[in-house]
Amino acid sequence: MIKQNHSRTGPSAVGKVSISDDFWSEYIRLVREVVVPYQWEVLNDRVEEAEPSHAIQNFKIAAGVEQGSFYGMVFQDSDVAKWLEAVGYLLETEPDPELEKVADEVVALIAKAQQPDGYVNTYFTIKEKDQRWTNLAECHELYCAGHLIEAAVAYSKATGKNAILDVACRFADYIDRVFGTEPGKLQGYDGHQEIELALVKLYQATGERRYVELSHYFLNQRGAKPNFYEQEWEKRGETIHFPQLSIATDLEYSQAHLPVREQDQAVGHAVRVVYMCTAMADIAAETGDEALLAACRRLWGSIVSKRMYLTGAIGSMAHGESFTQDYDLPNDTVYAETCASIGLIFFAQRMLQIEPDSEYANVLERALYNTVVSGMSRDGKQFFYVNPLEVYPPVLGKNKNYDHVKPQRQGWFGCACCPPNIARLLASLGQYIYTVKGEEIYAHLYIGGTAELDLNGTAVKLEQQSKYAWDGEASFRISVPQETVFTLALRLPDWSGAAAIQVNGAEYKVSEADIHNGYIRLKRAWQTGDTVSIAFEMPILRMQGHPLIRQTAGKVALQRGPFVYCLEEADNGGQLFHLSLPATSELSSAFDTGLLGGMQVITGNGVRFDSKHWQDELYRRDADWTTEQTELRFIPYFAWANREPGEMSVWINSMN
Amino acid sequence: MIKQNHSRTGPSAVGKVSISDDFWSEYIRLVREVVVPYQWEVLNDRVEEAEPSHAIQNFKIAAGVEQGSFYGMVFQDSDVAKWLEAVGYLLETEPDPELEKVADEVVALIAKAQQPDGYVNTYFTIKEKDQRWTNLAECHELYCAGHLIEAAVAYSKATGKNAILDVACRFADYIDRVFGTEPGKLQGYDGHQEIELALVKLYQATGERRYVELSHYFLNQRGAKPNFYEQEWEKRGETIHFPQLSIATDLEYSQAHLPVREQDQAVGHAVRVVYMCTAMADIAAETGDEALLAACRRLWGSIVSKRMYLTGAIGSMAHGESFTQDYDLPNDTVYAETCASIGLIFFAQRMLQIEPDSEYANVLERALYNTVVSGMSRDGKQFFYVNPLEVYPPVLGKNKNYDHVKPQRQGWFGCACCPPNIARLLASLGQYIYTVKGEEIYAHLYIGGTAELDLNGTAVKLEQQSKYAWDGEASFRISVPQETVFTLALRLPDWSGAAAIQVNGAEYKVSEADIHNGYIRLKRAWQTGDTVSIAFEMPILRMQGHPLIRQTAGKVALQRGPFVYCLEEADNGGQLFHLSLPATSELSSAFDTGLLGGMQVITGNGVRFDSKHWQDELYRRDADWTTEQTELRFIPYFAWANREPGEMSVWINSMN
């Protein structure tokens, strides 16, 4: 029934990659052995200490195999879809018949919950049968559809089984009959972008061009006047699903304030922005829509030049999980949702496919090695939704501006978007390492493993060995069916000093001419057995913020390689705001094997200010401050909050 | 009908004072000529640019002289009462037959709106007739009653007319029949403390001891278990008046979490805390309740040693207009309600009556000369509800953590508690200058004018001339019917260096023994014509915050005399966070006659950090920062936001 087309039809391919890496393999093992099994238990409400999910139960009720009421968020279905998507990625790299059997049962359940017309959504099927498509601004129907489609594409690709892809296509076909500019169709679009990028994946999996057109329609319709959300709101009697927010009228929240091609500032809900941009880049690539690509570049610039944290986090404000204003980057009240940085990685990946430039990969790396990994504990059992750059525990629970900030990762969330999002990203991490474009193979990330890439019909195999994360070293072994001319483009990370390259064991002197858009380009006729090794200088960097960021004025943060560092109370005592790092202080880095599985730790001489003679006065003049030398110890940001709870800060006062 | 007793019966008297002062007379003139007339127009909805008030209209409807619905906050009545109270204070010091005629009509209207049983409240009379006393936690019935009583006491004292006092007593008598521990009575107390302090005033005006007992009952009942608010909430079917807050269940919000004698931390809504403490001090003074006084001292300590801003502002958080945690004093997201500092002044005044100690008067002065005066524009037409210590306009309206912060004073507010509160405080400022205790006359504030004080039956007249605010000088001329021995105790402000005193033109050398609890005590047999002059050294102070206040770490704020200073963009350019004040920088002060009516301005050499070579990068290493000398110009905090809107900061980076 469905025209299957498993070959990648996009503008550039990511290849088939399996990972074997000092740093990442452990995380992927955790996803496989801990996260995905744990999430399955949660989805089935079998974890006592987690908030109830009810997500599988909702599907059972919608499928008519159990009785009961809907429970959970209006987008609860998407938790099941993201789990299934992660399972797909895991099965693609390593068979697991038992897991596949469980997943097949989920597929059968979803298929059974699908309505005769193709519709799938347990909330509306169980709870508001007659209210389909009446509250697109708030109710996530197309968002859930998008996640179901992404799951279907991943799972069918991994297993070769079409059942879930059939469900997805029948649903997409139904959506295509409901939405559009033609008379009688609904001229709406979802409040939370997701369907748009999913439809492109569905097209890439099936070759069905209508899905690209439907995605293009959703993007084109967004922000059209008169505004659809205001109209549907009036039409349904001004009812509100989320009374804390003003989604129907606050059009910036869901980027519906302007047509997408006219948007040049990242505003509103951060996850929505980056999911939208991902789809815009996809559609630009698939259709050659230059205006859309130009808007992608503008929005990228708005995010990474004015509205992003050093850790690759985005979303300065808890209210609306939103962007705020250029250079407004508070470290303590920040939202910095894990999902938002994951979406930023999607966006970066799509831009790299269109126009390889290390700017995109540098940000991708920054988000991945800092905010995303920070989102999960070192044992894979707990998660951060919010990733602050500064935490002062005594005020948490007291000052409500910090109500979203937790000093420790949590087991699960009522709104459980982040844990399964981390799982699916890590399970598919291989898709972010390389792109092939014409006769060029780009290595964006230095993550060990094996990649099978299709270079215009020639199968190129790259075996990467990497000690990149801690030591800045990687090497490649090339296999080709016959001698093949192509360019191997190796990213020069933004944190690196000089890079030393060896080709087949001989030093290769990099010239300026070799470097283009941040990649060192090695063009030659490659043969099987050729090797390339690259070693980056990995200095400890004192990073500073733009002069207009008031929250970083007079401060520095340390970075070494891809990792941003932080101070924790466990190493440095309390009142981190009394610590300073003199500009002249020497810093050194050493691998601490005993720390949370082993990691590079930075130490250096710092200064602690204190006023021992201060009595009870709240304010005084002529205070007698003392300074004492102290050793400062910085650990990678991603590893924070894995010991006893305490203060944490990425930025430290600098002394001139 | 009512036993009138206009003489002050409290533990110490404040006397009859009229003000004639370089600094304050202008403010009092503004209250008389601008604020009170303007507020009258607002209360009658005749000011186009102000939010509608409807407060007088509500009374007309409740009185049956007009038809219509209630409009406004549930405590809208209190705006009329505070206005009438201010009018009383104005009439007490200067007759104004026209104003009195208007006020008499208001009195007649209120009397007409009074129900046969004595109840006065337009919200419940018009809108929820059968719901009296069903939501004490949220609905402010006794709060409004308290303000009506305060107005009645002030207006009857000023005019000698008893009509409004009759209304107040009938209302209080009715409340006394409804509330109490006796069977059949309601064992409740108001969510917003106010009735408690008002009943003490009503007792002092009438001599009716029952009012003290009723007030004592309200204080005793607060926080008793089982909790009254939880009980009434269940009883009325768990309805909520203010859905944004959780008043019925968040017992700390209204200090109902513990019996008042067991409270030792200032928590919850800041205005409620200080109004409660004021009444606790009143009742302690009237009844000798030592446990209550001990709680007052503890709560005072909690506020001023751990939870107060340098400007005398309180309430660190917008949510719930509340205290947060010890040493949590954010300068930008702070609430710092004008009313809260006014309440802190009430509390300080009562403590001064009980136990004169300059600690109370120093805080009173700090709140008065900074946060309270800041609350009103230099033309008396605009007001601050919120008084931040740091404002960065580009993020206002974008980052919702600042939604309560305005960069300019506003004409009126939907919740209009602050403007009439400023008016009534300034109109009664004379009550805060002196107290008489036994054979001691305490001068707490150096505000020019004439005071007629009752020293155990002897009429002592003090004529104070003051150049205190800007120059630190004041002098007193004493008139007594006959030579009288008493102690004139002059406060030594906490900001002062040495004080030079002259008695009858001759230098008086102050010895350590003369100073007690922060007052210089001059005991002698005083004769008419005796003069005392005092001159305080007024150095420019570099104030610093307690080591545990993270928001003031590494910063200083300037203070000279009673005034805290601030930097404004109008004088110093933008990006105030790039400015530093070196510890070695000399500071000087000069009177700028051209600035907003004239004020002392502080200047000194500072340093501006900048990075001219910074391009578009959001973060970079090896940034090339430049420093340039710049003249810093500080103006008194109270005068901020009277020129073009811009950045403001009280605290500036210090350089060691």
Choose among A319, A399, A622: nearest Cβ to B400: A319
Which H or E element spans position A209?
A: helix A209-221
Q: Is A238 exposed, middle or buried (0-12, 13-18, 19+ CB in 10 A)?
A: exposed
For residue B625, which residues of chain A lie inside 8 Å, CB to CB?
Answer: 544, 656
* Residue B121: partners with Cβ closer than 8 Å, 6 or more residues away: B62, B77, B132, B141, B144, B145
pLDDT along chain A (656 residues), means of 10: 38 75 95 93 88 93 96 95 96 95 98 98 96 96 98 97 98 98 96 98 98 98 96 93 87 97 98 98 97 98 98 97 98 97 98 97 98 91 93 96 93 69 95 95 98 95 97 97 98 94 96 96 97 97 96 96 98 97 96 95 95 89 88 98 96 85
Residue whose pair of structure tokens reads 């001319």 in the numeric block: A485
For residue A578, which residues of chain B lie inside 8 Å, CB to CB?
Answer: 547, 553
Which of B297, B317, B619, B652 has the most A C-beta neighbours within 10 Å, making it the best mutation to test the interface with A? B619
Q: What is the CA radius of gyration of chain A?
A: 25
Minimum CA–CA partner of B578 in chain A? A553
Minimum CA–CA partner of B317 in chain A? A399
What is the distance in angstroms between the Cα of A268 and the nearest Cα belonging to chain B? 10
pLDDT of the residue at A410:
84
Choose among B304, B324, B399: nearest Cβ to A399: B324
| Least trusted range by pLDDT, from A620-624, B146-150, B251-255, B305-309 | A620-624
Minimum CA–CA partner of B398 in chain A? A324
What is the distance in angstroms between the Cα of A309 and the nearest Cα belonging to chain B? 9
pLDDT of the residue at A379:
85
For residue A652, which residues of chain B lie inside 8 Å, CB to CB?
Answer: none
Choose among B319, B392, B618: nearest Cβ to A400: B319
pLDDT, tens only, B421-445? 999 999 999 999 999 999 999 999 9
Judge whether residue B265 has pLDDT over 80: yes
What is the distance in angstroms between the Cα of A411 and the nearest Cα belonging to chain B? 27
Q: Give the domains, in start order, of chain B with CATH numbers.
A: 51-226 (no CATH), 259-429 (no CATH), 434-536 (2.60.420), 540-655 (no CATH)
* Residue A245: partners with Cβ closer than 8 Å, 6 or more residues away: A253, A320
For residue A315, which residues of chain B lie inside 8 Å, CB to CB?
Answer: none
Torsion of CA A181, A187, A193, A194, to 10 degrees: -60
pLDDT of the residue at B348:
98
What is the distance in angstroms between the Cα of A246 and the nearest Cα belonging to chain B? 13
Which of A257, A399, A628, A648 has the most B C-beta neighbours within 10 Å, making it the best mutation to test the interface with B? A399
Question: What is the Cα–Cα distance from B503 to B520, expressed in whole angstroms?
Answer: 13
How far, CA to CA in Å, does B489 sit from each of A603, B437, B484, B514, B524? 58, 11, 15, 9, 11
pLDDT of the residue at B575:
96
What is the distance in angstroms between the Cα of A2 and the nearest Cα belonging to chain B? 47
Question: What is the Cα–Cα distance from A538 to A594, expressed in whole angstroms?
Answer: 22
Question: What is the Cα–Cα distance from B80 to B96, expressed in whole angstroms?
Answer: 19
Q: Which phi and psi (to 5°) does residue A388 adopt? A: -70, 160
| Least trusted range by pLDDT, from A441-445, A494-498, B254-258, B521-525 | A494-498
Which of B541, B621, B651, B654 has the most A C-beta neighbours within 10 Å, making it the best mutation to test the interface with A? B621
Whether B607 contacts B628, CB under 8 Å:
yes
Please name the residue ranges forming H helices in A5-54: 24-30, 36-43
What is the distance in angstroms between the Cα of B468 and the nearest Cα belonging to chain A? 21
Judge: B550–A324 Cβ closer than 8 Å, yes or no.
no
pLDDT, tens only, A516-530? 999 999 999 999 999
**What is the token pair recorded at A132?**
């389909």
Judge whether residue B148 has pLDDT over 60: yes
Judge: A325–B398 Cβ closer than 8 Å, yes or no.
yes
Choose among A316, A325, A618: nearest Cβ to B546: A618
B338-354 vs B358-366: helix crossing angle, rounded to 10: 160
Query: How crowded is residue A378: how many other Cβ atoms within 10 Å of its Cβ?
Result: 19
**DSSP label at B638?**
G
pLDDT, tens only, B582-609? 999 999 999 999 999 999 999 999 999 9
Question: What is the Cα–Cα distance from B610 to B578, expressed in whole angstroms?
Answer: 7
Residue whose pair of structure tokens reads 């005019």 in the numeric block: B159
For residue A553, which residues of chain B lie inside 8 Å, CB to CB?
Answer: 577-578, 609
Choose among A542, A554, A577: nearest Cβ to B653: A554
pLDDT, tens only, B467-489? 999 999 999 999 999 999 999 99
What is the distance in angstroms between the Cα of B216 and the nearest Cα belonging to chain A? 30
How far, CA to CA in Å, does A170 sit from each of A114, A173, B101, B351? 9, 5, 80, 77
For residue A610, which residues of chain B lie inside 8 Å, CB to CB?
Answer: 547
Judge: A328–B394 Cβ closer than 8 Å, yes or no.
yes
Greater model confidence, A625 or B336: B336
Judge: B610–A547 Cβ closer than 8 Å, yes or no.
yes
Catalytic residue positions of B? 321, 417
Which H or E element spans position A654?
A: strand A652-655
Choose among B305, B395, B545: nearest Cβ to A616: B305
pLDDT of the residue at A3:
38
Judge: B399–A543 Cβ closer than 8 Å, yes or no.
no
Minimum CA–CA partner of B306 in chain A? A618
Judge: A400–B320 Cβ closer than 8 Å, yes or no.
yes
For residue A399, which residues of chain B lie inside 8 Å, CB to CB?
Answer: 316-317, 324-325, 328, 330
What spatial distance separates the first Cα and last Cα of chain B, rounded to whole Å? 70
pLDDT of the residue at A4:
37
pLDDT of the residue at A5:
38
Judge: B618–A394 Cβ closer than 8 Å, yes or no.
no
Residue whose pair of structure tokens reads 């103006």 in the numeric block: B635
Judge: A550–B575 Cβ closer than 8 Å, yes or no.
yes
Choose among A308, A330, A619: nearest Cβ to B618: A308
For A315-379, the DSSP string reads: --BTGGGB--STT---SSS---BHHHHHHHHHHHHHHHHHS--HHHHHHHHHIIIIIIHHTB-TT
Q: How many CB pairs under 8 A join A and B?
A: 138
Whether B611 contacts B618, CB under 8 Å:
no
* B412 confidence band (pLDDT: 50, 70, 90): low
Mean pLDDT (chain B) is 94
Instruction: Work out whether strand B434-437 and strand A499-503 pair parallel, antiparallel, or are unpaired.
Output: unpaired
What is the distance in angstroms between the Cα of B548 and the nearest Cα belonging to chain A? 7
Report how many helices (DSSP H) and strands (DSSP E) chain B contains, helices first.
20, 23
pLDDT of the residue at A624:
79
Judge whether residue B3 has pLDDT over 80: no
Judge whether residue B356 has pLDDT over 60: yes
Judge: A328–B399 Cβ closer than 8 Å, yes or no.
yes
Please name the residue ranges forming H helices in A480-599: 569-572
Judge: A553–B614 Cβ closer than 8 Å, yes or no.
no
Mean pLDDT (chain A) is 94
Which of A550, A612, A626 has the most B C-beta neighbours within 10 Å, making it the best mutation to test the interface with B? A550
Judge: B399–A623 Cβ closer than 8 Å, yes or no.
no
Report how many helices (DSSP H) and strands (DSSP E) chain A contains, helices first.
20, 23
Residue whose pair of structure tokens reads 């690759």 in the numeric block: A312
User: What's chain B's length in residues?
Assistant: 656
Judge: A547–B578 Cβ closer than 8 Å, yes or no.
yes
Judge whether residue B7 has pLDDT over 70: no
What spatial distance separates the first Cα and last Cα of chain A, rounded to whole Å? 70
Choose among A325, A559, A575: nearest Cβ to B395: A325
Which residue of the set A321, A359, A365, A568 is catalytic? A321
The ipTM is 0.94
